[in-house]
Amino acid sequence: MQPVQLVEPHKKVEDGRVREVSVPPLAPRVTAGSLADIPFTNAAEAPGEPVLGRKGRDGAWWDMAARDFAAEVQAMAKGLIALGLQPGDRLAIMARTTYEWTLTDFAAWAAGLVTVPVYPTSSASQARHILQDSLTRACFVEDVEQTRMLSAERGNLPALEHLWQFTAGAVGHVMDAGREIPDALVTERRAQLGPRNIATLIYTSGTTGPPKGCVLTHGNFFAEVDNAIELLHPVFRAEHSEPASTLLFLPLSHVFGRMVAIGCLRARVRLAHAPSIRTEDLLPDLAGFAPTFLLGIPYVLEKIYNTGRATAEQMGRASSFDRGARIAQRYGEAVEAQEHGFGSGPGFGLRAARGLYDALIYRRIRAALGGRCRYVICGGSPLGHRLAAFFEGAGVTVFEGYGLTET
């Protein structure tokens, strides 16, 4: 793994106290264009490169090339324009983590719109507040239950003119509507956007009152994803001959998952979507797609660890698993000490013990993550130090992140 290259922070000290700490950006500031340009830039520079993983009805995974994704974004953007949506209009998306979510996000931007994520598990009152407050004109939902819920609220949503359902063929309907719209009109809409334009309104969880819409510009997202790509170099860059890829299962209605989805398309990392995090659904998707890194929350890593421990116990090998877990934790702690400059790293005996348990335990842990996963970006809540050290020892490096929707 290549070490993250950090620079010395700048500190502002007043009266002997540190009042502010900052570091210079790792990536240059974007001064023109918008997120809407990403699919079209990819199509122009690497038309045949796989940028998305899609799962067929037979369960098999296939790759979508950059030119094909750009074509679908273009077709959907034309449909949104044909249906009367104007630059700056709000378009909401209420769905699980699916290809249609990402497609709609970029198509809305290409049409000059502002996207408004709504959690798919939101209640009628929660969804109504977001759609009212944002003055949303159009909304995509995933299923019939969501359609019925919002249809019952239409009287309270005077600005809402369109309600479309993904599972009822909404994407095809919108694309069909735009068949007579010239491509140049989408190009014109995109040309009107710059880093200062609003890209999205993301509503907070409302811990201090009703959810509040955080206004994020295209420039905000460029700054975040471009610096994340540079900071987490081994995650977003291909190692050896193995292309980087991820299976996204966290909600795109949260800024964490959305940032990684946009970052993947920006860096041309193969991105796939998994709408369900139930163990019986997620594990087969991980095995089928075999990502090189994952975006997760502590619960997912805890579930992987506990499932491994329970399986070992069923096989009568619980004590062996526990010894291996202790070895992995010691190994991970030694690696961390070395990276922070106060240790020499794992010694010969520890490396040998780790090698022994790799075939017995750690390989099974990596197999549960798809077999090729070497990195996990973890956020949402703190990850226990022992668990992070265990995964490092098991061959999966965990990067912990913390951030605010507002930033």
Instruction: Give the span between the Cα atoms of 2 and 296, in whole angstroms.
Output: 21
Give residue 321's pLDDT. 96
Residue 260 has pLDDT above 60, yes or no: yes
Beta strands in 31-177 (DSSP E): 50-55, 61-65, 90-94, 114-117, 136-141, 162-165
Task: Work out the number of other CB atoms within 10 angstroms of the CB of residue 286.
Answer: 22
Closest CA relative to residue 308, chosen from 354, 357, 362: 362
CA angle, 303 then 305 then 311, to 5° = 95
Q: Does this model's pTM top 0.85?
A: yes
Per-residue pLDDT of 199-212, as tens digits, reads 999 998 766 778 88
Residue whose entry in the numeric block shows the structure tokens 């022992």: 386
Q: Averaged over 263-291, what is the pLDDT?
A: 93
3-state secondary structure of 30: coil
Q: Is the pLDDT of residue 353 over 80?
A: yes
DSSP 56-93: -TTS-EEEEEHHHHHHHHHHHHHHHHHTT--TT-EEEE
pLDDT at residue number 22: 83
How many Å apart are CA 36 and CA 105, to the nearest integer? Answer: 9
Overall average pLDDT of the 329-347 stretch: 92
The chain-wide mean pLDDT, for the chain, equals 93
Intervals of CATH 3.40.50.12780 along the chain:
35-45+52-217
pLDDT for 313 equals 94
- pLDDT recorded at residue 206: 62
Buried b (16+ CB within 10 A) or exposed e, 323-341: bbbebbbbbbbbbbeeeee
The pLDDT tens digits for 50-69 are 999 999 999 999 999 999 99
Q: Span 353-373, mean pLDDT? A: 94
Confidence check: pLDDT of 99 > 90: yes
CA distance 354 to 359: 9
What's the pLDDT at 341? 87
pLDDT score at 239: 67
96: DSSP letter:
-
Who contacts 216 (Cβ-Cβ below 8 Å, separation ≥6)? 198, 199, 200, 201, 202, 255, 405
Across the range 64-76, mean pLDDT stands at 98
Specify the pLDDT at position 3.
42
Confidence at residue 240, expressed as pLDDT on a 0 to 100 scale: 65
Alpha-carbon distance 271 to 274, whole Å? 10
**Nearest alpha carbon to residue 366 among 339, 337, 399, 392:** 392
pLDDT tier for residue 24 given thresholds of 50, 70 and 90:
confident
8 A C-beta contact, residue 266 and residue 244: no
CB 173 within 8 A of CB 197: no
Confidence grade of residue 6 (pLDDT, cut at 50, 70, 90) = low
8 confidence band (pLDDT: 50, 70, 90): confident
One CATH from 2.70.180.20, 1.10.10.10, 2.40.50.100, 3.40.50.12780 for 35-45+52-217: 3.40.50.12780
Longest pairwise C-alpha distance within the chain: 70
